């Protein structure tokens, strides 16, 4: 296939390398000229994904318009806050048959739209696929076996991406529940921030296990209210992605949470991580969505207070632990 990938960060680089090494004709758009020169010279992105060598030639460019003609797939690998700008910039420049594949995980703060909804608004005729699951770029770049899920409202399109992107170290399942897959991928970053704060506060395994367990429940409640299949949250884009993001030091969200738990501000933590920490903005998006849907999300609410109202993390934990006693399973799952 002829593919254009937009976004030269670690995850975009990992997927560009994987698809190029598989034999696809790849155009790799990177905005930063210095990163382009680095990849061209060293056959790797030493800034964002050191050690992951490109085995085949790729077309590197910082002119997106020059790599839109006659492509089969357009891959988005930019922060959620930049998605609308990128899709608007290619509107009218690609055919309606081009498959839009999104690698980002978030919810737009201003509109509260999922990324598929943004794509549908701007490129209404183009099929859309979300690729999600437990997949750190650092491991994909080292050819460590990884399993993801491709989700689309059009099963044939999801199966096309499944077939064309799969390799012996990169296994892809399909799932038609686009709402659940997107919400799982976005919301797990909130819980990973909380898990990192747990570590930064020097709490233990008991509290982290509780955060992760109640976190997946909280994620599923909001997802179900938007029409998601509850079973999706038990899969790769739900609990699978949650586990890897809450436990790995590859996770930007967990690393940022650790720094916040140690006493640094949200801004200081994000600056030290050095790349976009999607969970910070997703906390705000999910907080707003939960209010609109009248869904109780105590972990998200606590994080919102810590990040955006300067609340003390220890006090937030105390309030979580001393909330009104409840049943573990709520009626929402049986309606």
3-state secondary structure the chain: CEEEEECCCHHHHHHHHHHHHHCCEEEEECCCHHHHHHHHHHCCECCCECCCCCCCCCEEECCHHHHCCCCCEEEECCCHHHHHHHHHHHCCCCCCCCEEEECCCCECCCCCCEHHHHHHHHCCCCCEEEEECCCCHHHHCCCCCEEEEEECCCHHHHHHHHHHHCECCEEEEEECCHHHHHHHHHHHHHHHHHHHHHHHCCCCHHHHHHHHHHHHHHHHHHHHHCCCCHHHHHCHHHHHHHHHHHHCCCCHHHHHHHHHHCCCCHHHHHHHHCCCCHHHHHHHHHHHHHHHHCCCCHHHHHHHHHHHCCCCHHHHHHHHHCCCCCCCCCHHHHC
Q: What is the pLDDT of residue 329?
A: 81
Tens digits of per-residue pLDDT, 22-65?
999 999 999 999 999 999 999 999 999 999 999 998 999 999 99
Other residues' Cβ atoms within 10 Å of the Cβ of residue 248: 15
Q: What is the pLDDT of residue 330?
A: 76
Kindly indicate the confidence band of residue 129, based on its pLDDT and cuts at 50, 70 and 90: very high
For residue 332, pLDDT over 60 is answered with: no
Q: Which of 24, 48, 18, 25 is nearest to 36 (CA)?
A: 48
Q: Region 225-238: what's the mean pLDDT? A: 96
Q: Look at strands 128-132 and 99-102 and give their pairing.
A: parallel
Kindly indicate the confidence band of residue 296, based on its pLDDT and cuts at 50, 70 and 90: very high
Mean pLDDT across the chain, nearest whole number?
95
269 is in an annotated binding site: no
For residue 168, pLDDT over 80 is answered with: yes
Catalytic residue among 2, 93, 188, 291: 188
59 is in an annotated binding site: no
278 is in an annotated binding site: yes
Kindly indicate the confidence band of residue 313, based on its pLDDT and cuts at 50, 70 and 90: very high
Kindly indicate the confidence band of residue 331, based on its pLDDT and cuts at 50, 70 and 90: low
Q: What is the pLDDT of residue 335?
A: 42
Q: Region 207-218: what's the mean pLDDT? A: 96
Q: Region 291-314: what's the mean pLDDT? A: 95
For residue 77, pLDDT over 50 is answered with: yes
188 is in an annotated binding site: yes
10 is in an annotated binding site: yes
Tokens read off for 80 = 């959620």
135 is in an annotated binding site: yes
For residue 161, pLDDT over 70 is answered with: yes
Please state, in angstroms and as integers, the Cα–Cα distance from residue 293 to each residue in 51, 203, 224, 287, following that order. Answer: 45, 32, 11, 10
Instruction: Identify whether 188 is a catalytic site residue.
Output: yes
Tokens read off for 110 = 């201003």
11 is in an annotated binding site: yes
Of 16-20, 77-81, 320-324, the poorest mean pLDDT is in: 320-324
252 is in an annotated binding site: yes
Q: What is the pLDDT of residue 334?
A: 37
Share of the chain above pLDDT 90, in %: 96
Residues 6+ away with beta carbon under 8 Å from 215: 188, 190, 191, 194, 195, 242, 246, 299
């Amino acid at each position: 296939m002829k593919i254009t990938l937009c976004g030269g960060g670690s995850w975009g680089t990992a997927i560009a390398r994987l698809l190029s090494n598989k034999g696809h004709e790849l155009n790799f758009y990177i905005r930063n000229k210095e990163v382009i020169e680095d990849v061209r010279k060293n056959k790797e992105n030493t800034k964002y994904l050191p050690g992951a060598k490109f085995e085949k030639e790729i077309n590197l460019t910082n002119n997106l318009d020059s790599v839109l003609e006659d492509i089969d797939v357009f891959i988005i690998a930019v922060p959620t806050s930049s998605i609308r700008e990128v899709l608007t910039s290619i509107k009218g420049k690609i055919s309606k048959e081009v498959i839009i594949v999104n690698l980002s995980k978030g919810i737009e703060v201003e509109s509260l739209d999922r990324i598929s909804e943004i794509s549908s608004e701007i490129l209404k005729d183009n099929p859309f696929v979300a690729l999600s699951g437990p997949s750190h770029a650092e491991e994909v770049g080292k050819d460590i076996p990884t399993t993801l899920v491709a989700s689309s409202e059009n099963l044939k399109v999801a199966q096309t991406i499944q077939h064309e992107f799969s390799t012996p170290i990169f296994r892809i399942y399909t799932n038609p529940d686009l709402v659940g897959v997107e919400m799982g991928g976005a919301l797990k970053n909130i819980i990973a921030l909380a898990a990192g704060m747990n570590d930064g506060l020097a709490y233990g395994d008991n509290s982290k296990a509780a955060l992760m367990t109640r976190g997946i429940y909280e994620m599923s409640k909001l997802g179900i209210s938007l029409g998601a299949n509850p079973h999706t949250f038990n899969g790769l884009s739900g609990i699978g992605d949650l586990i890897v993001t809450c436990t790995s030091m590859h996770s930007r969200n967990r690393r940022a949470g650790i720094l916040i738990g140690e006493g640094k501000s949200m801004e200081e933590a994000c600056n030290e991580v050095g790349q976009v920490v999607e969970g910070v903005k997703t906390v705000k998006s999910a907080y707003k969505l939960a209010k609109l849907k009248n869904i109780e999300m105590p972990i998200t609410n606590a994080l919102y207070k810590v990040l955006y109202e300067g609340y003390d993390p220890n006090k937030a934990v105390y309030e979580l632990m001393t909330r009104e006693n409840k049943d573990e399973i709520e009626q929402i799952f049986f309606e």
